[in-house]
Structure 1
């Protein structure tokens, strides 16, 4: 721009006057006769060139400012991609969390259905459906149904208390309900009861084992080193703790019968028998 202005300003006055006359003759129907030796045409050309230079300068400044303030397209694209990636990661995290919750719900549902299945199978075990002679319909015994809050397993109903008593009081309570403290014979029975016990720091439950007169040794589901009959420990209880490595078949301990623990009652049932619990 400044080169153009410099070129124009360095023309001779005669050339500028001639160009001015030609320009004025082209844009005006009235012929203008320049004053001989006057400065008019030169001043007019100078003003026009200065105006043109100013307009060009302002245009260049405006264009430069526009592109200077405009963020780079590559950077904008990168920012948009980062936002999209962050949104995708957030959506993926939410989906994973939802799947984990659904997995937990399905596991709980599976456990509940398994318990219902076990109870149903236990109810059907006493049912008698033998093949009768030809012409005689087979007979089926009525299923056993335990009272509310009692668990059915292999023909017996079991009650796990939430209150504590000493061993003799626990036995008396079970007898008042038509049963006795649970007597455990098989690993399956032991595992069934142990699975229904709640975990805790040291959750102990009386069951039907007492050797106040004769020390019990030999078979059972004792923890290693038990029974040790330490300080007249004559009654048996089952322990379930937060330690996951502890197993059902090594969970018996002996303790003084005067200690207060929750307890497990058992009542043998017969097919079609009454399920009412005495009050």
Structure 2
């Protein structure tokens, strides 16, 4: 035999074999890019707060695995997405949760804290208006048939009101109902009285009475 059809050691591989090798490389690269794209999509839509960085997750992040994100980012912050736990509602840089069960004042504060949030601190007319419109929206969709919701405003001493996060109490930026708060009667917790049609719907109540609650936490920026 004259050895035709054999490739001697050190000689170049036939053209068809070299083409097959390059094809395998391209197939591998395309597959790797597809896997990376799928991982990025998973980060953005399912667990985006946890894929973004190695920073210690916030208390809110540690409590929830499902998130809803959009591209609206509060002014002056870095990042491309603003995220809230699934089922929460976002306004500016905060996420809000309206409960479907009732607890007393202390239990409500504890429950919000256990979710990595706090009873809502209302610091502007825009925020008060948002919560009123949210109530109307949920009622329209028959998701809300509730009256009073605890917020994070407490009477530390007679006539001395204080927000749960120590935000200074500004009497000119409050939304009390007419005649409220009424001193005495051991009414040292505050609710939003939802049936009230105006923005002035805060009412001081006794702490042992069960009501619904509104929890608030800073949105996760990624």
TM-score tier after normalising by the smaller chain length: 0.5 to 0.7
CA distance in 2, matches of 1:202, 1:268: 25
CA offset at residue 270 of structure 1?
4.2
Structure 1 residue matching 2:177: 3-state secondary structure: coil
**Structure 1 unaligned blocks of 5 or more:** 1-118, 130-139, 273-279
Q: TM-score, normalised by structure 1?
A: 0.45
Structure with greater proportional helix content: 1
Moved over 4 A (4+): 198-202
Match of 1:257 in 2: 207
1:81-133, CA deviations, whole angstroms, 9 ceiling, x for partnerless residues?
xxxxxxxxxxxxxxxxxxxxxxxxxxxxxxxxxxxxxx99x95242659xxxx
RMSD: 2.7
Which of 107, 112, 123 lines up with 1:169 in the alignment?
107
Larger Rg over CA atoms: 1
User: Are the equivalent residues in 1 in contact too, given 2:83–2:220 (CA < 8 A)?
Assistant: no
Judging changes above 3 Å, is the alpha-carbon distance between structure 1 residues 162 and 232 closer, same or farther for their aligned structure 2 residues?
Answer: same
Report the counterpart of residue 269 of structure 1 in structure 2: 219
Residue 74 of structure 1 corresponds to none
| Structure having greater relative contact order (Cα 8 Å, sep ≥ 6) | 2
| CA contact 2:120–2:214 (8 Å) conserved in 1 | yes
Structure-2 separation of matches of 1:123 and 1:255: 39
Instruction: Write the deviation string for residues 169-214 of structure 1: whole angstroms up to 9, x where unpaired.
Output: 0010111111100000001101111222255897110000011435
In the alignment, the residues of structure 1 paired with residue 191 and residue 88 of structure 2 have an alpha-carbon distance, to the nearest angstrom, of 19
Q: Give 1:269 deviation, angstroms.
A: 2.5
Q: CA 1:123–1:214 in structure 2 vs 1: closer, same or farther (change >3 Å)?
A: farther
- Cα 1:205/1:174, change in 2 over 3 Å: same
Q: Secondary structure at the match of 2:90?
A: strand
* Equivalence for 2:127: 189
Matching of residue 231 in structure 1 with residue 185 in structure 2: yes
Contact 2:90 2:219 in 1 (8 A): no
**Among 143, 148, 160, the residue aligned to 1:204:** 148
Say whether residues 1:124 and 2:75 are aligned partners. Answer: no
Higher strand share: 2
TM-score when normalising by structure 2: 0.56
Indicate how the Cα distance of structure 1 residues 186 and 128 shifts in structure 2: closer, same or farther if over 3 A, else same: closer
Determine the structure 2 residue equivalent to 1:213. Answer: 157
Q: Which runs of 5+ in 2 are unaligned?
A: 1-67, 162-168
Corresponding pairs, count:
139
